[in-house]
C-alpha cells in the first residue's frame, strides 16, 4: 500500500489516503488521487521512511525540509530541529508514580495531577 497526504494552500494536511501500489505505471495511485479528488498530494510513509514521520490531519508539510511537522500543541512552544519536535519554554520535569504532568499554557508552567485524588499540585 502507498499513503498520500492531501495538503491545502497553506500546506496543512487535510486528508490522508491509502492507495494501491500495484499500478503498472508505477505511480502508486497518485494519478488516481489527482483524477478523482484533485488538489495537491504528497507521499507519506507509514513506517516513517520518507519525510521524517507519517502525515496526520493538521500536520504541515515543510517543502524546504521535505517533511511533515505535527500541529503545534501550544502557542508558546517552539519547533526544535535537534529534538525533531515541539519543545516547551520550560523543560519538562520528571513525573512520579503518584503524579502526572501537564502543560498549563496560561501560567507557562508544568503542573502535576495526583493520579489518585486527581488534584492539581504546584
82 CB-near residues (< 8 Å, 6+ apart):
none
What is the per-residue pLDDT for 50?
84
**96 to each of 38, 93, 110, 111, 119, how far by Cα in Å?**
50, 10, 14, 12, 15
What is the per-residue pLDDT for 85?
93
What is the per-residue pLDDT for 22?
65
Distance (Å, whole) CA 8 – CA 112: 38
What is the per-residue pLDDT for 25?
56
Splitting the chain (122 residues) into consecutive groups of 10 residues, what average pLDDT does each group show? 92 91 64 88 86 94 94 96 94 88 94 88 72
Distance (Å, whole) CA 35 – CA 27: 13
Domain boundaries, the chain: 2-71, 75-122
What is the per-residue pLDDT for 23?
59
Query: Global pTM?
Result: 0.77
Amino acid at each position: 500500500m502507498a499513503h498520500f497526504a492531501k495538503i491545502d494552500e497553506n500546506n496543512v494536511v487535510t486528508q490522508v489516503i491509502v492507495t494501491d501500489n500495484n499500478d503498472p505505471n508505477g505511480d502508486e495511485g497518485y494519478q488516481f488521487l489527482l483524477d478523482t479528488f484533485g488538489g495537491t498530494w504528497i507521499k507519506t510513509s507509514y513506517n516513517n521512511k520518507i519525510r521524517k514521520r507519517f502525515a496526520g490531519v493538521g500536520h504541515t508539510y515543510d517543502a524546504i525540509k521535505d517533511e511533515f511537522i505535527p500541529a503545534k500543541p501550544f502557542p508558546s512552544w517552539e519547533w526544535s530541529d535537534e529534538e525533531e519536535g515541539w519543545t516547551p519554554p520550560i523543560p519538562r520535569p520528571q513525573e512520579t508514580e503518584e503524579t502526572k504532568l501537564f502543560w498549563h499554557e496560561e501560567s507557562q508552567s508544568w503542573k502535576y495531577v495526583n493520579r489518585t485524588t486527581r488534584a492539581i499540585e504546584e
